Structure formats: structure tokens, C-alpha cells
A and B are shown apart, each in its own frame.
Chain A
Amino acid sequence: MKTNDVILQTTTKVVFFIIFIFSIHIFFAGHYTPGGGFVGGLLTTGALILLLLAFDLKTVQKALPFDFMKVVAVGLLLAILTASWPLFVDLPFFTHAFDDFNLPLFGETSLHTAMLFDLGVYLVVVGAAMTMIQTIGGDT
């Protein structure tokens, strides 16, 4: 019997964007409010798992043609580069820098290199969790 999951798929198409945008919000809000790279990454993974539940594995892999192992590698590389750049300018390992910038759309924004480290954590969490889920759920 062919299953009819129009309701689930249509809802997923709406709800995915709510969860995804909220995960981006949590990721960027992590410096001043609860949140950060880990929770944001887990929420993004949750949104992707919702896609996997509503559609099948092949469709999601075609829609998001990432090798999630490489996402883990990029995240680790970003984290180690952020942590080690002060060594080249005679500062201790893991020294962070921040400054205020006047961006065109956002106005006065303070940017901090801890965000880059957090982006590394985010990518590692998304990549590791998605690799696990796809490995368990797939054939190979």
C-alpha cells in the first residue's frame, strides 16, 4: 500500500525553515544569551532529521549534497585556525580579538573571533550528528 503523507511533507516544508532560522538565531545569540554553537548545531541537525523523516534519504542527499565528514573536517580546521592565529603574532594560544564595525545593513556590530570558533563547533556538531544518522539510516 502506497502511504499518503502529504500532510507531513507539506508541514515539514514550512516547519523546516522555522527551526532552521531559529537555530541560526540561537547560534548568533550565544554570546549574550543562552545558546551557541552546540545548541545551534543540534537544532540544525533536528531540522535536517525532520526532512529525513518526511522525505527519504536519497531525496535529502540530493537536496543537500554535502559529505558531512568533510563538514566535520572543515569545522575542526576552522576551530584550530582560530585558536592558533595568535601564535603568529606573538600572543598566547587561544587569544581572541574583537572590535566594533559599522556594517551597512546591521549598523553598529561588534564582531568577535570567538564566533569563528563557535562556527567550527557548529559545523562539527552538524557534521557528526548527520554522519551518524545517515550511516545508521542508510544501506552503506
Chain B
Amino acid sequence: MTVIANTLIVITISVGVLFTLVTMIGILRLPDVYTRAHAASKSTTFGVLSILLGVFFHYWLKEGLFSIQLLLAIVFLFITSPIGGHLMGRAAYISGVEKSPLTVGDELEEVVEEAKRKARPRPEID
């Protein structure tokens, strides 16, 4: 039982640390803000969730403490971290941060142009 618990804890925390490391490499190496936000908001979420799960297992299986707060933190981070990435990417797009030259398509551009065209005041009353 102790071996299973130790293995579970070590594997979850190691996976979390590895994913956080991958996030850091991604932020350093990727070319523009959108790809960096992609790296930062996905893999760091998984990494931190995995570390928290490892800590939760440690306290549950070794110390006998079923920590609701850690589960709540996992749920909370799982909800909020992608929203943070979304908002940062959106703010970057709207304030006109340049895309990497490797970018192929931009579907948001048409939508934003359409919204800008609709937002202009029209001469006739509808």
C-alpha cells in the first residue's frame, strides 16, 4: 500500500514538474504572443493540476487528511487558467500585437471587421 501510494505521488508530481518545464521552454522558444499563450495556458494548467493532485494524494494517503481545499483549488484553476489565457490572447489581438509570419489563416479578422462595420452609425433609421 505504501509503495502504491509513493509511486502515485511521485508520478503525479514528476509529471507536473515536467509539464511546467515544458511550458517554460515553450514560452522561451515560441515565436509570437498567441503561441506563447497557447503554451502557457494549457501545459502549465495541466502541470499545476498534476502537482496539486500529487500533494492531495500525499496528504490523503500518507497523512490521512482529506483536503477539500486542494480539490477546490484544482477545480478553480481548471476553470480560471484557460480563461486567463483567453483574455490575454484577446487583449493582445484587439490591441494589435503582430502575428508571427508563419501564421496561415486569421478567421477572427473578418469577424472583427464585420463588427466594426456594423458598429458604424447608419444614416437611415432601422
Contact = CB atoms under 8 A, between A and B. Distances in A.
A1 to B, nearest CB: 5
Interface of A: 1-2, 7-8, 11, 14-15, 18-19, 22
Interface in B34-86: 69, 72, 75-76, 79-80, 83, 86
A1 B94 CA distance: 11
Contacts of B112: 1
Interface of B: 69, 72, 75-76, 79-80, 83, 86-87, 112, 115-116, 119
A11 B79 contact: yes
Given A15-B76, A18-B76, A22-B72, A2 B83 contact: no
B76 A7 contact: no
Interface SS majority for chain A: helix
Contact of A14 (B79, B115, B116): B79
Contacts of B83: 7-8, 11
A11 B115 contact: no
Contact of A1 (B72, B76, B80, B116): B116
Contacts of A19: 76
A42 B75 CA distance: 21
A22 B76 CA distance: 11
Given A11-B80, A15-B80, A2 B119 contact: yes
B86 A2 contact: no
Given A14-B79, A18-B76, A22-B72, 10 more contacts: A1-B112, A1-B115, A1-B116, A7-B86, A8-B83, A8-B87, A11-B79, A15-B80, A18-B79, A22-B69
A2 B115 contact: yes
Please name the 5 residue pairs, one residue from A and one from B, whose CB atoms are nearest each other, closest first: A11-B83, A1-B119, A1-B116, A1-B115, A18-B76
